[in-house]
Structure 1
Amino acid sequence: MAQSKMQNIAKEFPVKTGVDRKDRRELAKMLTKIIGSSHVLYAKTRGVHWNVVGPAFYSLHKMTEEQYEDLNEAIDEMAERIRAIGFQAPTGLSEMMNHSVIADQTKLLPANDMVKELVEDHDKLSRLLRDGVAEADDADDVKTADLLTERLGVHEEAAWMLRATIS
C-alpha cells in the first residue's frame, strides 16, 4: 500500500480562500516566472561567488554567498505558495530557464562585469516582482502580495550593495 502512495503526482486541488481560481492560476503563472528568474539569478550568483577575483574578492565572496542562500530559501517559499494556492510548482531546469526574465551566464566575465550583470538581473527581478505585487493586490491575495513585496525589498537592497561595491 505504501508503494502506491509514492505513485501520486501533484495535481491542481480546489482552494476556497476567497481568491477566484482564475486569479490563483494567473498568480501561479507569475510565481513560476519569478521562481524561474530566481533560479537563473541563483546560478549566476553562485558563479560570481566561485569565480570572483581581485581587491573586492573577500567582500564579494561573502556577499554573494548570503545572496544565493537567501535566493534558495525564497525559491522554496514561492514554490510552496504555488502549492498552497492549488497549483503545481515548476520542475526541472529547462522549465526554470523557459520562464526566466534573466538570461543565463554563458561565459566567464571579468569580476566587475559579472557584478554589473548581477545588478541588472536584480533590477529585472525587482520589476517582475513589482508586477507580481500589483497582480496579487488586484486578486486580493494579500499573502502572495506580502511575500512578493518582501522579496522586492531584498532584491533592491542586493542591487544597491552590489552597485556600491563596484562604484
Structure 2
Amino acid sequence: MKAKKAAASSKIDIGISEKDRVAIAAGLSGLLADSFTLYLMTHNFHWNVTGPMFNSLHTMFMAQYTEQWNALDIIAERIRALGVKAPGSYAEYEKLTTIPPVKGEPKAMEMVALLVAAQEATARTARGLLELADKANDQPTMDLLTQRLDLHEKTAWMLRVLLEE
C-alpha cells in the first residue's frame, strides 16, 4: 500500500500535459547539446588562440565559456523539472547538436567566425522551441529561452563586429 501511495504522489501534475512536457524536454535537450558543444568549442578556443589579439580574445572567450558553463545546469534542471532525464554524454550531445565539429586548427579570426555561427545556431535552437512552450503555457521554459536568446544574439553580435573591416 505504501509503495502505491509513493508512486501516486510522484506523478507530475504541473499543468502541462505529459505529451507537451516530453516534447519541450526534447527541445531543451537539443538546446543543452548545442550549449555544451558551444561551451566546449569556446573553451578550446580560449586555450588555443594565438596571434596579435591573443589577450583580448583569450579574456573574451573565458567570459563566454564561463557563462555557457553556468547555463548548462539551468537547462538540464528545467528538463528534470519537466520529468525527463537530461542527456549527459558526448554521444548524446553529438546526436542532438546542430553545431558542426571544428575541423583542423583554426586561426584567431576563424575561431571568431565559428563562434558566431555556433552562437547563432544555439539561438535558432532556442527560438524553435518558443512556440511549443508558449502553447503549453510553460512560462519557466519561455523565460529560460528568452534569456538564452538574448545572450546568444548579443554574443553573436559582439563577435561578429570583430570580423568587420
The answer to whether the superposition gives a TM-score over 0.5 is yes
Structure 1 outlier segments of 4+, above 3 Å: none
2:140 aligns with 143
In structure 1, distance between residues paired with 2:56 and 2:11: 47
After superposition, residues 47-126 of structure 1 pair within 5 angstroms as 47-126=44-123
Preserved CA contact (<8 Å) 1:37 1:97: no
In structure 1, distance between residues paired with 2:106 and 2:54: 14
Preserved CA contact (<8 Å) 1:34 1:128: yes
Cα offset for 1:21?
A: 0.6
In structure 1, distance between residues paired with 2:41 and 2:49: 12
In structure 2, distance between residues paired with 1:15 and 1:82: 13
Cα offset for 1:55?
A: 2.1
In structure 2, distance between residues paired with 1:107 and 1:40: 16
In structure 1, distance between residues paired with 2:130 and 2:54: 35
In structure 2, distance between residues paired with 1:17 and 1:117: 39
Cα offset for 1:98?
A: 0.8
Paired amino acid for 1:149: T
2:7 aligns with none
Normalising by structure 2, report the TM-score: 0.90
In structure 2, distance between residues paired with 1:53 and 1:128: 30
What's the C-alpha RMSD, in Å, of the aligned pairs?
1.1
In structure 2, distance between residues paired with 1:153 and 1:127: 12
User: Please, which runs of 5 or more residues in structure 1 have no aligned partner?
Assistant: 1-12
In structure 1, distance between residues paired with 2:118 and 2:88: 22
Aligned residues: 155
Normalising by structure 1, report the TM-score: 0.89
Q: Say which SS state the counterpart of residue 135 (structure 1) adopts.
A: helix
User: Please, which runs of 5 or more residues in structure 2 have no aligned partner?
Assistant: 1-9
Matched, 1:157 2:154: yes
